[in-house]
Amino acid sequence: MQLRRVVVTGLGALTPIGNTLAAYWEGLVSGRSGAAPITRFDASKFKTRFACEVKGFDPEAFMERKEARKTDPYAQFALVCADEAITDSGLLSDTLDRDRVGVIWGSGIGGLKTFQDECIGFGKGDGTPRFNPFFIPKMIADSAAGLISMKHTLRGPSYVTASACASSNNALIDAFNAIRLGLCPAVVTGGSEAAIYEAGVGGFNALHAMSTRNEDPATASRPYDKDRDGFVLGEGGAAIVLEDLEHALARGAKIYAEVIGGGMSSDAYHITAPHPEGLGAELCMKFALKDAGLAPTDIDYINTHGTSTPIGDPQEVKAIQRLFGEHAYALNISATKSMTGHLLGGAGAVEGVAAIMAVHTDTVPPTINHFTDDPEIDARLNFTFNTAQQRTVNAAMSNTFGFGGHNTAVIFRKYR
């Protein structure tokens, strides 16, 4: 069958470095760190006492107090950035066939705050089960997609993908496939996460996965740097409106970029550690290139998973060097988690928006906080350290990998 072409017509973002698309992109290009001491709770007894929190967010500025009380922060983030992307796209109209427009969202954890608060409340009681009637609807990860679909009366397929930190890239790939197969004329996709609470910080601390650079949070996320010591937890989300090209052209929509390929693989190695040689990472990038019909030399920029962990960063670099060969030295590479922190299930969406904007503006956002080269990582590669770079970006790849060995890559190209 003839596959449909899929384009990006709307973007939205709510991140630790900007609460709108414009503010987020400005924060990326200027190299701003979103890391600071945790304000959400008293973290003084935790190994890590800082994170990349969303700043100045008041859910009641976007929804009624009653609605806010019925939704977990991860779902509030989803609603807000989806609203921005839908408005940006101009998709909604009286002639839109809402029976076929879908919502495919990604979240690795879902309502962690809700789950934590309800369990603490029960534990402090006398054993009598007194739970909020909205406990389950607020907690479950699929609520975000349902709430977006209900708010905008979108009756197409609606669900959430959960593959740890690869969740929203998986959602994006599912949305891409739904449109190019002709199942939907448009899909609202993206991802969100809200895990900066005691359970989230404590759980990742127990895994020894997060940075403990408490004396200097702003420089703690330092992908590819010799002295990196773990990731910085982030929160927020991003939304992307994908649309059938003919549908977009018929209504005169603006087009940011075209989605041309997606790849998925499994490490089949370890529940939390990546494959030491990056075999799964290489496979998903290889599959994405094949799906897009591109050669490695066609890619100009890779937004890497780049979490700032000692074992994670080198394996992705190894995979890139094997797959791209000599062209690896002509690429721009950057890890925007150095600014936003790691948004877990929302990472693919937030970083996908960064890759789309790089294609749209011919600007590569930087990897900030680079101080010392790591002898285990080839310094000849262009990691776009510390300062954004201008270059023609015809095609960009965005990688996200998750606990469980889930690997994803998506490719965006200039619309022609």
Residues with a catalytic annotation lie at 165, 305, 342
Find residue 239's DSSP bridge partners: 12, 190
**Which residues are CB-neighbours of 4 under 8 A, at least 6 positions away?**
179, 180, 181, 182, 244, 245, 246
| Direct distance between the N- and C-terminal alpha carbons of the chain, in angstroms, rounded to an integer | 22
Amino acid at 349: A
Amino acid at 264: M
Amino acid at 207: L
Using alpha carbons, select from 297, 302, 285, 299 the residue that is nearest to residue 364: 302
Retrieve residue 232's tokens: 């910085």
> What is the distance between the alpha carbons of residues 138 and 142, in angstroms, rounded to a whole number?
9
Q: What DSSP letter does each residue of 283-310 carry, written as one string?
A: HHHHHHHHHHT--GGG--EEE------T
Using alpha carbons, select from 10, 5, 13, 21 the residue that is nearest to residue 254: 10
Q: In what helix (H) or strand (E) does residue 334 lie, and over which residues does it extend?
A: strand 332-334
In this structure, the chain runs to a length of 416
> What is the distance between the alpha carbons of residues 88 and 306, in angstroms, rounded to a whole number?
29
